[in-house]
């Protein structure tokens, strides 16, 4: 892949979502979430890998509850990324699930897994 683009290349390329590599963006985020999950002790299988011998300490129980709450959020984000990757596959990526308009590229770059346009983002 040539890294030095020709100087006479046109610079007014359309600002379409396809131009941005959302798949790569989603995969990077996916890997990041997965590593955060495994740091919390939640592996690929989704179970918490902890030693039941420590479970009778209330502090550990509290920490475990926090870890589970955080892991739940991470898993939700992972689910959304999975769905976004599936939408990339079937060609519906980047469209609002409510009204079907194309989501602004800037919004997708900030939140590649977003499923709604800015108008519908806050009504789920
Ligand atoms: Zn919408």
Distance 70 CA to ligand 1 centre (A): 29
Distance 71 CA to ligand 1 centre (A): 29
Angle at the Cα of 82 from the Cα atoms of 75 and 123, rounded to 5 degrees: 75
Distance 88 CA to ligand 1 centre (A): 18
pLDDT tens column, 20-67: 689 999 999 999 999 999 999 886 554 555 555 555 667 778 888 889
Are 83 and 113 within 8 A, CB to CB? yes
CA 42 – CA 10 distance, rounded (Å)? 48
pLDDT tens column, 61-99: 888 888 999 999 999 999 999 999 999 999 999 999 999
Are 71 and 33 within 8 A, CB to CB? no
Cross-strand partners of 95: 102
The pLDDT of residue 12 is above 90: no
Distance 75 CA to ligand 1 centre (A): 24
Distance 103 CA to ligand 1 centre (A): 8
Using a cut of 0.75, tell me whether the model's pTM lies above it: no
Distance 65 CA to ligand 1 centre (A): 35
Q: How far apart are the first and last CA of the chain?
A: 42
Distance 37 CA to ligand 1 centre (A): 31
């Amino acid at each position: 892949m040539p890294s030095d683009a020709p100087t006479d290349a046109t610079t007014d390329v359309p600002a379409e979502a396809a131009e941005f590599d959302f798949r790569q963006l989603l995969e990077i985020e996916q890997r990041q979430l997965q590593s955060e999950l495994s740091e919390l002790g939640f592996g690929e299988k989704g179970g918490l890998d902890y030693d039941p011998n420590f479970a009778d300490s209330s502090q550990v129980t509290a920490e475990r509850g926090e870890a589970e709450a955080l892991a739940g959020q991470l898993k939700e984000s992972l689910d959304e990324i999975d769905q976004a990757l599936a939408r990339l596959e079937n060609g519906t990526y980047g469209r609002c699930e409510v009204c079907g308009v194309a989501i602004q590229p800037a919004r997708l770059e900030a939140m590649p897994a977003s499923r709604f346009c800015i108008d519908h983002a806050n009504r789920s």
